[in-house]
Structure 1
Amino acid sequence: MLVLLSKKERNLFTISFCENYESLLFDQPYFIFLVGYLLYEGFQMRLIFLTLLTLTLLNGRGVLDVEWSSANKAQQKPTVPYPKVLVEGIKSVTLPVYLSSSYAYNKKMTVVADKYFYSISFDLEGAMVLFEGDRTFQESVSPQNPEFKKIMQKTLAVEFSKSEEIMMAEYQRHGANYTISVECDKPDTDKRCLKEDFIRSLYNSLNMVGGHP
């Protein structure tokens, strides 16, 4: 029987999993439980899926080149230092880290990050907001490929969509890929998951808060 976890417990579970994922992959009974639980919980465990896919498949992927010249121009020095949880959490990230200015000083954030990706989540009243970024790509498709370049040229600056009751904004900056996701406890009545206004406000208030070459 699966046991429901609170949001706080899920965050702790996520961090624990990310720290021990390699050994867990070889613990078959636990891994079977994990897969079942992930399917049961859905989006609320996307942090684990993101981390698992990034860390275990990185050997089969390449790394996108970040345009640091444009990134450095975009970064503004904060008038007030960012919270320690953010600074320490993203210190190893080698791509520009974007976060809404509305949440950059919210200390109640969960940060899961590595060299080539980051996930920063916030538990709001009745909703969860997730900011993600990564700079990986499948090696079978070279970023210098002419067809790949044509596709990228046609890509919109930002695409807003809704999938399985989750509002999403997907965008690219400085050569890296980014996503903002909003999940509501009551998606049928919560305006944050019914209209694009809230997720657009998150996108429009993005600030570069860290990252380094």
Structure 2
Amino acid sequence: MWELGLSYGEGGVGCAITGAAGVQLMGSFPTLTRAVDVAARATDGAPQRVVLVHPADLPVSQLGKVVGDLALAGVTDDDVQLLTDVEVLHRLTGHRVLLIDADRDLLTVHPGRSERFDADRVAALVAKHPWETTVALTGHPENRDRYHVAVRDHGPMIVERAALAALALQVPATTALSSTPRTAGALRRRPVAPWVLAAIPVIALILLILLL
């Protein structure tokens, strides 16, 4: 049995699998379909576990589209774990994580609040809990330089977004990774319960009588 880790971002999709040799990073691919195809060719059968890591500020509508693309790629399991990037880093380090995205000039604070990057803001947050805070930096190497200089005093941890796919697989599947668990099934509209529909006319009639 094997496990599949995927990391979605604007720059592509990171892909990792587990096997006899442990966690193996397959690389970064332009689409989810390509990433899943490469993983499937390197393994046998269906994955026992699928983890999809996404940016913490990804809108729900776009996340739903990503899950739809994942289904089109052949992964239709409703139990796919959807984890934010900052949550994965938090669980692995055990610290509050300040994640700087150099490609989008964003600072994300665990559990997922995103704002425009500001070096003074980072310094203030680190000062509150200096021994319990980890500053992480992601983005294209050409974009990371100025951010690295701005927060160099805090010893930033460089994180390749594609590598988040492998990092997520190192967290036990039994660990509660999200403050609000979300799965592919949770993104679909669920039908309204029949008793709710039946109660609507009754409530309307009562209101009409009260108004007469």
What TM-score do you get using the length of structure 2 for normalisation? Answer: 0.25
Larger radius of gyration: 2
What TM-score do you get using the length of structure 1 for normalisation? Answer: 0.25
